[in-house]
């Protein structure tokens, strides 16, 4: 059975974020680092080459495939800041209505810049996602 391509590793989170060439994206990523560390109570770790993750949970599908994945995370991509919001966007619909300018993908929340969104609403979305994942996976609070 294939392993998840995105694995936790011992990469230097701060060095990675400092290497982001776009100044605004770098500053936004450093701000997200502080926000997510505060909200998750978990230290930042590199997942793959370009994702900063916080905490982890164990998953197991009906097919038998299982592994570990981050509880919350983000990546400062060229096109947008990509936040990994677990457990589905629909449970956060009321908050998304207040968020500001964004788009979504399967588990991704795409934000061009933090100035485009209400930071307090974003904090609520991240916190709700983490609470949901901890409850759904029986993970103790940090």
- 3-state SS of the chain? CCCCCCCEECCCHHHHHHCCCCHHHHHHHHHHHHHHHHHHCCCEEEECCCEEEECCEEEECCCCCEEEECCEEEEECCCCEEEECCCCCHHHHHHHHHHECCEECCCEEEECCHHHECHHHHHHHHHHHHHHHHHHCCCCCC
130, pLDDT greater than 70: yes
Domain positions in the chain are 23-136
- Range of weakest confidence among 1-5, 25-29, 76-80, 91-95: 1-5
Average pLDDT over residues 84-106: 92
97, pLDDT greater than 70: yes
Q: What pLDDT sits at residue 141? A: 57
Contact present, 46 and 29 (Cβ < 8 Å): no
Average pLDDT over residues 68-87: 93
61, pLDDT greater than 80: no
Q: What is the pTM of this model?
A: 0.88
CA–CA gap between residue 124 and residue 34 (Å, rounded):
15
142, pLDDT greater than 80: no
CA–CA gap between residue 9 and residue 41 (Å, rounded):
19
CA–CA gap between residue 27 and residue 38 (Å, rounded):
17
Instruction: Name the pLDDT band for 140 (thresholds 50, 70, 90).
Output: low
Q: What pLDDT sits at residue 68? A: 85
Contact present, 115 and 27 (Cβ < 8 Å): no
Checking phi first, is residue 125 left (phi over 0); if not, alpha (psi -120 to 50) or beta? Answer: alpha
Q: What pLDDT sits at residue 113? A: 97
Architecture of domain 23-136: Alpha-Beta Complex (3.90)
């Amino acid at each position: 059975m294939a392993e998840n391509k995105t694995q936790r590793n011992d990469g230097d989170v701060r060095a990675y974020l400092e290497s982001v060439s776009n100044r605004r994206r770098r500053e936004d990523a450093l701000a997200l680092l502080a926000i997510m560390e505060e909200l998750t109570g978990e230290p930042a770790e590199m997942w793959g080459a370009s994702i900063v993750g916080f905490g982890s949970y164990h998953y197991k599908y009906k097919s038998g495939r299982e592994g570990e994945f981050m509880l919350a995370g983000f990546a400062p991509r060229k096109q947008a800041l990509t936040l990994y919001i677990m457990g589905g966007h629909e449970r956060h619909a009321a908050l998304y209505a207040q968020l500001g300018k964004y788009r979504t993908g399967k588990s991704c929340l795409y934000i061009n810049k933090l100035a485009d969104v209400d930071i307090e609403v974003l904090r609520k979305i991240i916190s709700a996602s983490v609470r949901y994942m901890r409850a759904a996976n029986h993970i103790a609070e940090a």
